[in-house]
């Protein structure tokens, strides 16, 4: 991976953004320090992304189609058919339950509140 590629530069800017902000916006850090921190972050980002690219490898290259054939002809256009077996009927092992009916609130005191002790 090249050192001046977009992912490496973006990683370095993100890693050194506090120093860049303090150096160029608020001027609390000398610009030379902010620039040197960016340079160090650039080298570290380049090494890290190069290591990841080396571990992952390059993407596979597409296989070229045969000469004289179109790109669509390279794909097998025969339809795929599948047969599905008729499943055996499943016997109900649990009978359907009877409806419970309306839920009642139970006996309550007049006025809808909790029963009062006498």
Residue spans of the domains in the chain: they are 6-56
Query: What would the mean pLDDT of 92-109 be, rounded to a whole number?
Result: 58
Q: Which of 51-60, 68-77, 82-91 is most confident?
A: 51-60
pLDDT at 54 over 80: yes
Distance CA 20, CA 112 (A): 70
23 Cα distance to chain centroid: 35
C-alpha closest to that of 36 among 10, 22, 16, 21: 16
Compare 97 and 33 and report the one with higher pLDDT: 33
| pTM, rounded to two decimals | 0.49
């Amino acid at each position: 991976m090249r050192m001046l590629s977009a992912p490496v530069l973006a990683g370095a800017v993100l890693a050194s953004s506090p120093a860049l902000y303090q150096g160029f916006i608020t001027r609390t850090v000398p610009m030379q320090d902010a620039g040197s921190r960016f340079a160090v972050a650039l080298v570290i980002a380049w090494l890290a992304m190069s290591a990841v690219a080396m571990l992952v490898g390059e993407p596979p290259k597409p296989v070229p189609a045969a000469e004289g054939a179109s790109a669509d002809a390279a794909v097998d256009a025969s339809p795929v058919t599948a047969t599905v077996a008729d499943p055996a009927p499943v016997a109900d092992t649990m009978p359907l339950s009877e409806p419970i009916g309306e839920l009642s609130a139970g006996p309550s005191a007049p006025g809808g509140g909790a029963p009062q002790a006498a």
